């Protein structure tokens, strides 16, 4: 590896540490680096120090994940690069955590199911163990209530009952981001945290260790999604082999896309077309939006089959079933999470649903099989159906 490449990787890490620190400071304090008329700018060094309390544990999880892949690849004599960190910071313009993650490039051919399995499973397991430590410490060392009052002085008048009082008035939460719960986060909240100090889900971002841990679980779940060349895809492929993987993976992907768009367009939308809120939506506008949605789904399914007609069939079938759900009792209130659409697009259009072939297609030993199924159980524990919700 050249000195130029190492210098680039080090520079990217330093920049990502800076951007995640700034993003963490913004989330914790509610202030923004770029001052807008209605916002307050960050103050240094105090706010920057608070941002480090988010960036260090979060990048720690991310780094352990990537080096888990790296060291196991070295064990198998599969050449890889060191991690390339990807900084991204949008300040007050949009929600940002300061990074798009990190990647390592495998520069050798991975020859067997065992190699794919070992390299794929090492990253999420290493990151997950560190994330558990971050969450355990965060939930067992919650600050006193005075901490949240320094960020939201208006909460002080409600005392320890502030979460209930704020939630009761929907207008006070308009525009707020509320985090959804996954099974592991619920466990920590119910059995580990002190309930008198536990913040509500619309204030988690102000608690750096909880915010870092929550995001770590979220990205662990995305990496463990058992599709294509994601870590979860390598694991499932190693467990069940090519034949079964190639019919299970499209089913999982179809279910994921269906869930993401559930409730996005409904029959009720057609009925309520008209003047509302001073804006008139015509039938043409609605059906144009629907056609764009169908075409987007077609793009997501473009690599699921060599016949392009199949992508249209999958897309239309999903829309029809979603419409039927919207008029079916007990199903009409179900809503998916459209925020998964970018991930579905990335999977379907670029990464692919299927797994690359291997030269040595030997089955795994019993220990690896047990570890593989445990890791897929970790995916279930970490997955959040509605991870980020904006109150309207």
Question: Over 70: is that where the pLDDT of 126 sits?
Answer: yes
Higher pLDDT, 365 or 45: 365
Q: Phi then psi for 70, rounded to 5 degrees? A: -60, -50
Claim to verify: residue 215 and residue 258 sit in the same structural domain: no
Pair of tokens at residue 103: 């990647």
Please indicate, yes or no, whether residues 212 and 333 belong to a single structural domain of this protein. Answer: no
Can you spell out the DSSP letters for 200-250? PTTSGGGSHHHHHHHHHHHHHHHHT-SSTTSHHHHHHHHHHHHHHHHHHHH
Same domain, 261 and 116: no
Please give the C-alpha separations between residue 98 and each of 17, 19, 22, 338, in angstroms, as whole numbers: 8, 5, 7, 22
70 and 22 in a common domain:
yes
The average pLDDT across 381-388 equals 96
Count up the domains in the chain and report the number. Answer: 2
- Same domain for 27 and 144, yes or no, is yes
Same domain, 171 and 280: no
Tell me how far apart the alpha carbons of residues 113 and 245 are, in angstroms, rounded to a whole number.
Answer: 12
Is residue 372 assigned to a domain? no
Q: Quote the pLDDT of residue 272.
A: 57
* Mean predicted lDDT score pLDDT of the chain: 90
Judged by DSSP in three states, 80 sits in: strand
Residues 305, 334: one domain?
A: yes
Considering the domain architecture, whether residues 217 and 74 belong to the same structural domain is answered as yes
Q: And the tokens for 201?
A: 């889900």
Give the whole-angstrom CA distance, residue 241 versus residue 235: 10
For residue 377, pLDDT over 90 is answered with yes
* Contact status, residue 212 vs residue 377, Cβ threshold 8 Å: no
State yes or no: pLDDT of 33 exceeds 70. Answer: no
Query: In this structure, are residues 52 and 62 in contact, taking their beta carbons and an 8 Å threshold?
Result: no
231 lies in some domain: no
**pLDDT given for residue 316 in this prediction:** 96
Residues 274 and 327 in one domain: yes
Rounded CA gap, 101 and 220, in Å? 11
User: Two tokens at 131?
Assistant: 């994330």
Q: Which of 99, 65, 96 has the alpha carbon at shortest distance from 83? A: 65
First to last CA, the chain: 51
Same domain, 203 and 341: no
Range 60-67 average pLDDT: 97
pLDDT at 89: 85
Cβ atoms within 10 Å of 98's Cβ, excluding its own: 27
Q: How far apart are CA 195 and CA 226, in angstroms?
A: 35
The answer, yes or no, to whether residue 80 has pLDDT greater than 90, is yes
User: 193-206: string of b/e by CB count within 10 Å (b at 16+)?
Assistant: beeebbbebbbbbb
The number of C-alpha atoms within 13 Å of 9 and in the hemisphere containing its C-beta is 15
Residue 92 has pLDDT above 70, yes or no: no
Q: What is the pLDDT of residue 330?
A: 85
Whether residue 43 lies inside any domain: the answer is yes
The pLDDT score that the predictor gives to residue 38 is 47
Residue-level pLDDT at 277: 52
Average pLDDT over residues 320-347: 92
Give the tens place of pLDDT for each residue, 171-203: 777 778 899 999 999 999 999 999 999 999 999
pLDDT, greater one: 267 or 243: 243
Whether residue 370 is contained in a domain is answered as no
Q: Can you tell me the distance from the alpha carbon of 66 to that of 126, in angstroms, rounded to the nearest whole number?
A: 9
The yes-or-no verdict on residue 274 having pLDDT over 60 is: no
CA distances 203 to 151, 246, 387, Å, are 10, 42, 14
Place of tokens 């960020």: 151
> 186 and 41 share a domain?
yes
The yes-or-no verdict on residue 115 having pLDDT over 90 is: yes
Report the range out of 127-131, 149-153, 356-360 with the highest average pLDDT: 127-131
Q: Would residue 232 count as lying in a domain?
A: no
Q: Specify whether 54 is located in the same domain as 127.
A: yes
Tell me if 369 is assigned to some domain. no
In this prediction, residue 90 carries a pLDDT of 79
pLDDT digits over 285-313, tens only?
778 889 999 999 999 999 999 898 999 99
Three-state SS letters, 101-162:
EEECCECCCCCEHHHHHHHHHHHHHHHHHHHHHHHHHHHHCCCCCHHHHHHCHHHHHHHHHH
Is a pLDDT exceeding 70 seen at residue 273? no
High-pLDDT (> 90) share of the chain, %:
70
Residue 184 lies in a domain: yes
- Asked, for residue 192, whether it belongs to a domain, the answer is yes
Range of the domain at 210: 3-224+381-390
């Amino acid at each position: 590896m050249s000195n130029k490449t190492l210098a680039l990787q080090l520079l990217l890490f330093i920049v990502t540490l800076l951007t995640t620190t700034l993003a963490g400071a913004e989330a914790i304090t509610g202030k923004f680096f770029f001052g807008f008329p209605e916002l307050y700018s960050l103050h240094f060094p105090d706010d920057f120090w608070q941002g480090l309390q988010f960036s260090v544990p979060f990048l720690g999880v991310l780094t352990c994940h990537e080096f888990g892949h790296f060291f196991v690849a070295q064990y198998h004599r599969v050449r890889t690069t060191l991690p390339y960190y990807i900084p991204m910071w949008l300040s007050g313009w949009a929600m940002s955590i300061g990074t798009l993650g990190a990647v390592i490039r495998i520069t050798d051919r991975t020859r067997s199911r065992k190699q794919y399995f070992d390299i794929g499973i090492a990253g999420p397991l290493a990151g997950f163990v560190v994330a558990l430590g971050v969450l355990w410490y965060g939930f067992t060392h919650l600050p006193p209530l005075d901490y949240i009052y320094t960020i939201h002085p208006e909460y002080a008048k409600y005392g320890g009952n502030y979460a209930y009082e704020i939630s009761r008035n929907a207008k006070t939460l308009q525009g707020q981001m509320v985090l959804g719960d996954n099974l592991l986060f619920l466990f920590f909240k119910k059995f580990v945290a002190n309930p008198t100090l536990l913040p509500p889900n619309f204030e988690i971002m102000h608690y750096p260790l909880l915010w870092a841990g929550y995001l770590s679980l979220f990205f662990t779940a995305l990496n463990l999604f058992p599709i294509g060349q994601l870590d979860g895809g390598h694991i499932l492929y190693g467990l069940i082999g090519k034949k079964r993987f190639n019919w299970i993976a499209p089913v999982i992907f179809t279910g994921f896309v269906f869930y993401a768009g559930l409730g996005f367009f409904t029959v009720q939308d057609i009925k309520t077309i008209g003047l509302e809120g001073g804006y008139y939506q015509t039938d043409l506008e609605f059906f144009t939006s629907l056609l764009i949605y169908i075409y987007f789904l077609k793009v997501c399914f473009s690599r699921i089959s060599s016949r392009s007609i199949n992508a249209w069939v999958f897309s239309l079938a999903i829309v029809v079933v979603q419409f039927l759900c919207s008029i079916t009792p007990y199903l009409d209130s179900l809503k998916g999470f459209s925020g998964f659409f970018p991930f579905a697009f990335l999977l379907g259009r670029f990464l692919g649903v299927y797994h690359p072939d291997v030269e040595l297609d030997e089955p795994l030993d019993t220990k690896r099989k047990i570890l593989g199924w445990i890791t897929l159980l970790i995916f279930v524990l970490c997955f959040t159906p509605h991870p980020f919700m904006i109150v309207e």
